[in-house]
Structure 1
Amino acid sequence: MATASDHVPKTPPPSKLFSICEIRPYLYIAGYGALSHKKLKELGITHAVNATNILKTLQTPGIEYLDVKLDDDEAANIQLHFEEVAEFVQTAKNNGGKALIYCAAGISRSASLSMMTLVINEGLTLRNAFIEVGRARPIIAPNLGFWRQMIAYEQAHNGGESTVVLLKGGMRKSIPDVYLNKTALLNGTAS
């Protein structure tokens, strides 16, 4: 027999767009709209990478900031910041702190920097870094220029090989092969 509670619509989970997402116990990713002094303090964030191009951003007392002023543009040189951000995050971790990497929406710039932090600090492949960050924040989608730079970085540090390939096919623009079966890849069901 059905009860009244059987017909109550379930509240959908909060949008990842407005969430601070945990990649590792010491590493988080977010869009600027998710930030508040209260949330950052509750999470114990000690270090933050600001990858927005917003002139006046939230500055929480007690948090060390690294400003990476960067447009979400395919022509922007994000590769200049890979090692600096990875070192900043590693310093936070080594000191028992927690780092947050954020950009305007938490989709392209912060995703690229988070992925490369895992590649540099943990030795993950670019493909596995995409999976790890994507599991924490499924809405990630670095722009094509950032993908080219991440692939080039992996190739330069991996004997000319990369674990992500840009596909052209009949499409107007190339796409990274990890986008073809993204849901299965992030759920661990891809073959």
Structure 2
Amino acid sequence: MAHQETNDLTREDFDAGPSSYNEIEPNLYLGNLTAATDVEWLKQAQITYILTVDSCPLPRKIQCLPDVTLKYIQVTDMPREDLLTYFEDTYQFILYALERGGKVLVHCYFGVSRSATLIIAYMMKKYNMSFSKAFEAVKQKRRFVGPNPGFIAQLKLYEHMDFSINNNNIQFKLYRLQVAADNVRKAKILPQNHMDLIRSDPGLATVRPEPTVYRCKKCRRIVANASNILPHAPKEQQIWRHVSTKRHDKPPKQIKCLQMPESATQEEQKTAEICMKTYFIEPLAWMPEITHNVEGKLNCPKCNSKLGAFSWISGCQCPCGSKIAPAFYLVPSKVDWSNVVQNVQSTI
């Protein structure tokens, strides 16, 4: 492997192999870096749009090409990398290009995992197609495509959400928390682009309050709504997992269980297939420590009683045997379940 005199490696030190590309659909190509930097081929194929998903942008000679529109997404080919949140943006980029008679090249380094994932997501949304069918359709055109396991899980979650980003989907919430936790692990604080994960304070007055809430047992202050609860099953070990529910099935049973109080009978809890020994919740605005600390306690914002704790990295081991990470949790003995609506803001 060649080195510069400074012993620093550059992109030129690595070889993506010979130019490789395949036309997946009319005017839509999937290829490798070598194809994306082959000026003669780009001109011959009349490529007018290039979508790059790689650790480095394309070299200047490509960026300076006239009549070629570039889009760059910086992502490495690692299972825990986030591509899901780019699916809608890249779909619109490809669709815009094709509707205007353009020719699009989507590429990563080898044209196997990252770029294939974006093409598969595009096919799924365009044709209302399952992941497995879209994968096979792309594979028929480019036989060695192979998204890594993390990207496959993201594509399946995308299918579960009906080819859109649903911020209220519990699995998507868990997924985004994991992505944020990976960034907190590196930066030791919550990056600004993840601040939207922190939901509004449920204790503040609102026009449409939720009927089911959790209150501090000592001062009765509302500390969580039912929709803030992230349900888990006993002995569940996954940080986040894909729910294998068919896209048009009824919501999973656990969604109905969020209103169950701690006093629910064992039979009721068993039927619900949900653990109530620890209340895992979303990050909330009344938790000031969570943005600049990796872990800590969660105290009631009114009376300062300890209600639980949080950990972005280590997570929490529930008594049921489930390991949840990252974790923001309330201890059931410290809060009460309530369906008495009080925090109503009147409107005139």
What TM-score does the superposition give when structure 2 sets the normalisation length? 0.40
Match of residue 134 from structure 2: 129
Deviation string 1:125-147 (CA, Å, 9 cap, x unpaired) is 21121112111111111000000
What's the counterpart of residue 50 of structure 2?
Answer: 48
- 1:76 is aligned with what amino acid? E
Offset of residue 56 of structure 1? 4.7
TM-score, length basis structure 1: 0.71
Q: Distance between the aligned counterparts of 1:126 and 1:17, measured in 2?
A: 29
2:87 — aligned with what? 82
> C-alpha deviations, 1:23-67, integer Å up to 9, x for none?
011211001022311111111211110101124533333110111
SS in 2 for 1:85: helix
Q: Which has the larger helix fraction?
A: 1
Matched with 1:18 is 19
Matching residue's letter, 1:156 = M
Q: Answer yes or no: is the 8 Å Cα contact 1:155–1:161 preserved in 2.
A: yes
Which amino acid in 2 is paired with 1:41? K
Structure 1 unmatched ranges of 5 or more: 1-15, 163-191
Q: What is the RMSD of the two structures over their aligned residues, measured on CA atoms?
A: 2.0
Structure number, greater radius of gyration: 2
Higher deviation after alignment, 52-61 or 90-99: 52-61
Distance 1:95 1:128 in 2: 27
Instruction: State the 1:99 CA deviation.
Output: 1.1
- Per-residue deviation, residues 44-91 of structure 1 (Å, max 9, x unmatched): 211110101124533333110111111111110100111111100000
AA partner of residue 109 (structure 2): A
Count of equivalent residues: 147
Distance 1:38 1:17, change over 3 A: closer
Structure number with the bigger relative contact order (C-alpha 8 A, sep ≥ 6) is 1
Unaligned runs of 5+ in 2: 1-16, 164-243, 248-348
Mapped partners of 2:29, 2:146: distance in 1: 16
